[in-house]
Structure 1
């Protein structure tokens, strides 16, 4: 079975102390040591020979792909966040990609919708997905549900995710547990 670890929306705009969304996610991420746990999960997955995919939300500088009726993306546009080619859409340095990792850019919440993710998974024979990132109730929840519906075995690395609040995080995990295994990163093997 070929596995891929998806590290999703771990962007400077969202998870760096100096990012535009720092007040939303950084406090819970620090409390839960999400960056350090994610770094350890990436290293563990790499050592096991799993593929690593980085999913990043981003838009052209003029936001031409940004849906005008989206409450979440309209706020990002107003704040000048998620502009491709800027520091804000780079992956946080603590969990940064290496040469050969996959870079999947998305324009919606889902890591699958309108992206290169599924063609990459099919071409590489991936059958098992491990998902982590921010937010638990956004990209992680959406990715696990859609991965399930595309017949991938999905596991959410609970300790490598965060929502804006503990309640958001826990509620998302309760919902997604119908579609994916929920595990601690220390308890998974990637091979």
Structure 2
């Protein structure tokens, strides 16, 4: 039986991956060095050409950050920096990866794309059995998607050249831990 797939492009938002975004110093250098922008565009184009649905997962919060726990070192930092505000330019998907009509758009308030989101019902309604994963960061949303996806009985594939960490070591370390739960490949192999 052939599994139906969906490509998930996760947290590729302006605040994190746009050269003028708040996270430009964190992810942009490694993304440029590793060719993540070009690889991600190729992966999206290949998915569309093969009639594989594309879904976007975006982190975002209300302007008052009511969804942010004071116990989260990640998201309290976002609140202090004034980033990830829903409805702002920062939480829009980076234009080079722009969604098209009919693409899935999932907003999350935590690292995981599954936690308290509509992702699971959407995947179920579409009969998806395989998740093809891309995004930033490799050790954040990508890792969470693989581990939770695995435990929810999805076959998971990570497009390693469509992901980045804040450092090469962080990216490589995350991938090393994910090989047990997911197939690791490139956009061209996909």
Same fold at TM > 0.5: yes
Which position in structure 2 is the counterpart of 1:38? 40
1:36 shift after superposition: 1.3
Show structure 1 runs of 5+ residues with no match. Answer: none
Q: CA RMSD in A?
A: 0.5
SS in 2 for 1:78: helix
Number of equivalenced pairs: 188
Give 1:150-165 correspondences, 5 Å limit: 150-165=152-167
2:63 is matched with: 61
Q: Which residue of 1 aligns with 2:118?
A: 116
Mapped partners of 1:104, 1:160: distance in 2: 19
Deviation readout 1:140-183 (Å, 9 max, x if unpaired): 01101100000000000000000000000000000011100000
Partner of residue 142, structure 1: 144
Check conservation: 1:36, 1:94, Cα contact below 8 A: no
Question: 4+ residue runs of structure 1 moved beyond 2 angstroms?
Answer: none
Q: If the length of structure 2 is used for normalisation, what is the TM-score?
A: 0.98
CA distance in 1, matches of 2:32, 2:65: 30
Q: How much does 1:2 deviate?
A: 1.2
2:128 aligns with 126
Unaligned runs of 5+ in 2: none
Q: Which residue of 1 aligns with 2:108?
A: 106
Question: For the residues of structure 2 that align with 1:124 and 1:106, how far apart are their CA atoms?
Answer: 20
Secondary structure of 2:8's counterpart equals strand
The SS at the match of 2:111 is: coil
TM-score (norm 1): 0.97
Q: Which residue of 2 aligns with 1:178?
A: 180
